[in-house]
Amino acid sequence: MVRHIGEPDVLHVHAIDFAFDFFGLIGFFRRLPLVVTTHGGFFHTEKFGLLKKVYFQTVTRLMICSYNAVICVSEQDRATFDAIRTHGIITIPNGVNIDKFVDAGAVSKTKTAIAISRFSRNKRMDRIVETFRRMVDLDPEWRLVIVGRNDDLDGAYVQSLVDGAGLRDRVVLAVGYSNEEIRTLMARCSVFLSASEYEGFGIAAVEAMAAGLYPFLNDIAPYRTLVGKTNYGSIVDFASPDAAARQILSTWDSIDDFTTTRSELEASARLFEMSAAVKQVETVYKDVLGIETRTLLGVKIAALSSNEAVSYIDRSRQSGGTLKVYFANANFLNLIRGRDDREALLANSLVLNDGLGVDIASKLLFGSPFPDNLNGTDFCPTYLQATPRRLRIFLLGGKPGVAALAAETLKKRFPRHEIVGVRDGFFNPAENAAVVDDIRRSGADTLLCGMGNLKQEDWLSQNADATGCAVAFAVGAFLDFASENKPRAPEWLRRNRLEWLFRMTLEPRRLCRRYLIDGVAFLFRVFNQYMSGQRI
């Protein structure tokens, strides 16, 4: 199934099939924005198992590189697809139309079970029937409704199982029924049975819970996850029908307050409502198109104009905690890409774009540069000028004396704000607690921290919240420039995005490798991301 979403369109392919291969091939040449939802791949049955595995590791591995995002519907799917796609992959459990069967089950506790599925080998209707036969042997009052549609097996096969077990008078077989007809059948049922050996997620089980049916589910990973998340339902080994039958009857007899159980089953099913999944998928679409953020080498960079960034930061001051503002240039992205703690380092942060390199990457990956160049040296003064707030600022960083000189400059340029403290960036770990205490006691609400990548980000990640500041900027060399300890490039060089060249001529030993060798490595990594398809 394929559909177009949004303006501009995202092409969303639902399933790993020949349509997936076709659009993957077309997308490679036309660079279409492509998203795929896995839905179990094509491993729902064991038929042609070896051929499927070979195809998955070759053709599917190649075609998936054309897709900007891969949405797995379960952790089982995630484990499968992680083998062929390491980045640009996310798990969003299937959204379920809870209202389809909501409240359809029997109002009071009954001894009637229902099994709903496709009639295919992996659904193991033979084990359902055999388990039910053992249940009847132990308690003859039980009845079973089997609902399904023909697949690689059909209704005649299921009827032969029922007849062979001598259960014709105790089983209702419904083939191809509409949802309304299924609701009517559910009205006499209190239990849901599934012996499936393979599920991408387990939609039918969630729908059954919404109906108020207590689920007994086969011992497979998706069902274990479902029961673990909802704390409702029982895992049963249908491969051992006698033990399964005894477990079902024992568990069912132990449920005294069925009315409460029924209502809590429905509430648990609402954890999987369609609306929650839709919001997550819409976020993936926006990320693929680079509307709000653009992922470069695994880092989400905000696609904001200068004015939008100012407004975002000011709004964040009302949310509690400390917003950390980072500026991602090519060097920052090179350094952070191999960090195992990257997620923690970027937590509660706003990452803004800095420099020509990330603009080239954005143009290649998302078709356009960022709205504005928001490097820290230019954006910090812009923010201090544009914010309507009166700020209490602490300056941290630079060599001894630099922060104090920068403070004098900033007082003259922005007299509306108050510089409440300064401290150089050369202190040992033993002094760290005292530095944090100085900032907190100063009453600062804004911290400008300039220690260089990634030392400043590491420090803020570990200490920003303890300072009491609402916003902390990782400003790089801004304090050096503000103190006039280092000269800025002429305006015409900055306007033409060549400030890096000016800085390299001033400090060739320190910056030649960063801008030339590491810069080329950055572009090579961006090209690899382009070829992999990853956009999230």
Domain co-membership, 508 together with 471: yes
Residue in 99, 119, 112, 107 with CA at minimum distance from that of residue 262: 107
Q: Report the pLDDT value the prediction gives residue 359, as an integer from 0 to 100.
A: 96
Q: Report the pLDDT value the prediction gives residue 98, as an integer from 0 to 100.
A: 87
Rounded to an integer, the average pLDDT of 140-150 is: 97
Burial 249-287 (b: 16+ CB within 10 A, else e): beebeeeeebeebbebbbebbbebbeeebeeebebbbbb
- Residues 29 and 321: their CA atoms lie apart, in Å, by 46
Domain co-membership, 170 together with 237: yes
**Number of residues in the chain:** 536
Rounded to an integer, the average pLDDT of 296-320 is: 95
Q: Which residue has the higher pLDDT, 503 or 96?
A: 96
**356 found inside a domain:** yes
Q: Which two tokens stand for residue 376?
A: 């820290």
Domain co-membership, 106 together with 64: no
Query: Which residues make beta-bridge pairs with 217?
Result: 194, 235
Domain co-membership, 86 together with 107: no
- Residues 534 and 12: their CA atoms lie apart, in Å, by 15
Domain co-membership, 104 together with 77: no
**523 found inside a domain:** no
**513 found inside a domain:** yes
Rounded to an integer, the average pLDDT of 283-306 is: 96
Give pLDDT tens digits for 63-87: 999 999 999 988 888 999 999 998 9
Per-residue pLDDT band for 3 (boundaries 50, 70, 90) equals low
Q: Report the pLDDT value the prediction gives residue 532, as an integer from 0 to 100.
A: 92
**524 found inside a domain:** no
Contacts of 496 (CB under 8 A, 6+ apart): none
Domain co-membership, 331 together with 347: yes
Does residue 200 contact residue 77 with C-beta atoms inside 8 Å?
yes
How many structural domains does the chain have?
Answer: 3
Domain co-membership, 198 together with 49: no
Alpha helices in 272-416 (DSSP H): 274-289, 306-316, 330-336, 342-345, 356-366, 376-386, 402-413
Rounded to an integer, the average pLDDT of 166-170 is: 96
Asked which of 58, 74, 92 is the last residue of a domain, the reply is 92
Per-residue pLDDT band for 299 (boundaries 50, 70, 90) equals very high
**252 found inside a domain:** yes
**278 found inside a domain:** no
Torsion sign across C-alpha atoms 330, 339, 521, 57: negative
**Domain harbouring 231, CATH code:** 3.40.50.2000
Residue 451: φ, ψ to 5°: -125, 0
Q: Could you tell me the residue range of the domain that residue 195 belongs to?
A: 98-268
Domain co-membership, 88 together with 108: no
Does residue 13 contact residue 35 with C-beta atoms inside 8 Å?
yes
- Residues 192 and 510: their CA atoms lie apart, in Å, by 68
Rounded to an integer, the average pLDDT of 295-303 is: 97
Domain co-membership, 260 together with 331: no
Q: Report the pLDDT value the prediction gives residue 485, as an integer from 0 to 100.
A: 75
Asked which of 42, 70, 92 is the last residue of a domain, the reply is 92
Alpha helices in 291-329 (DSSP H): 306-316
**275 found inside a domain:** no
Does residue 329 contact residue 337 with C-beta atoms inside 8 Å?
no
**CA Rg value for the chain:** 30
**529 found inside a domain:** no
Domain co-membership, 179 together with 85: no
Indicate the pTM of the whole model.
0.78
Out of 22-31, 181-190, 191-200, give the one with best mean pLDDT: 181-190
Residue in 222, 197, 206 with CA at minimum distance from that of residue 72: 222
Does residue 518 contact residue 330 with C-beta atoms inside 8 Å?
yes
Inform me whether the pLDDT recorded for 495 exceeds 90: no
Within 10 A of 536 (CB to CB), how many other CB atoms are there?
A: 22
Domain co-membership, 382 together with 469: yes
Domain co-membership, 104 together with 75: no
Q: Is 176 exposed, middle or buried (0-12, 13-18, 19+ CB in 10 A)?
A: exposed
Asked which of 52, 76, 92 is the last residue of a domain, the reply is 92
